[in-house]
Amino acid sequence: MLRLVGVGNRWRGDDGAGLAVAALLAERAPAGVDVVAHEREPLELIERFDGAAAVWLVDAVHSGAPPGTLHRFDASEHALPAELFSISTHRLGLADALELARALGRLPPSVIVHGIEGARFGAGEELSPAVAEATRELAAALAAEVATC
């Protein structure tokens, strides 16, 4: 089973990008694709992996690229570039959750991480226009990819 997990915090501006993609895909996901919005702490992502043959994760990233830039990483075999997904020194982030799952033998065979470059992450802000556009673009691309799976 393919599980698509949108990760983020809807109350922190572009950090809601992953959730926005999940919301867009939930409306048009074909049978057999499980779409999940993950608003809990990243460590609990590990539980989202259970029972999935493939997982697509969508999260906001902050690398300095123009807002709305789409990144794609295959984490099935290798760790993510931690600096893109780690915004805290005291919380274990998405990259850590993936590596913990790998160490514990709980990582699905296929893990693809889609990153959307964010611009602003302030409390109470909405998605910035470029990021909102990128979420629609990515949702359409993922829906097309699912259809060919």
Partner 1 sequence: MSESRTKTIRTDTLARVEGEGAMHVRIESGRVTEVELRIYEPPRFFEAFLRGRDFSEAVDITSRICGICPVAYQMSAVTAMESLCGVTVDGQVRELRRLLYCGEWIESHALHVFMLHAPDFLGFDSAVAMARDHPLVVANALALKKAGNEVMRVVGGREIHPVNLRVGGVHRAPSKRALATLIDGLERAREIALDAVTLTAGLEFPVYEQDIELVALAETGRYPIDAGPRIVSTAGLEITPPEYPDHFVESHVPWSHALHSLRRDGGSYLVGPLARFATSYEQLTPLAREAAAAVGLHPPERNPFRSIVVRAVELVHAVDEALALIAAYEEPDAPSVTVEPRAGVGHGVSEAPRGLLYHSYKVDADGTILEATIIPPTSQNQTAIEADLRAVVERSLDLPDAELSRRCEQTIRNYDPCISCATHFLTLEVERC
Query: Which residues are at the interface with partner 1 (CB under 8 A)?
Result: 40-41, 43-44, 46-47, 89-92, 96, 99-100, 103-105
Q: Which is nearer to partner 1, 67 or 93 (CB)?
A: 93
Residue 50 C-beta: closest distance to partner 1, Å: 12
> Closer CB to partner 1, residue 50 or residue 145?
50
Nearer to partner 1, 27 or 90 (CB): 90
Residue 99 or 137 with smaller CB distance to partner 1: 99
The pair of structure tokens assigned to 110 is: 């296929």
- For residues 25 and 142, the answer to whether their CB atoms sit within 8 Å is yes
**C-beta of 23 vs 92, nearer to partner 1:** 92
Q: Could you tell me the end-to-end alpha-carbon distance of the chain, in angstroms, rounded to an integer?
A: 11
Q: How far is CA 11 from the centre of its chain?
A: 16
Q: What is the closest distance, in whole angstroms, from the C-beta atom of residue 118 to partner 1 in the complex?
A: 19
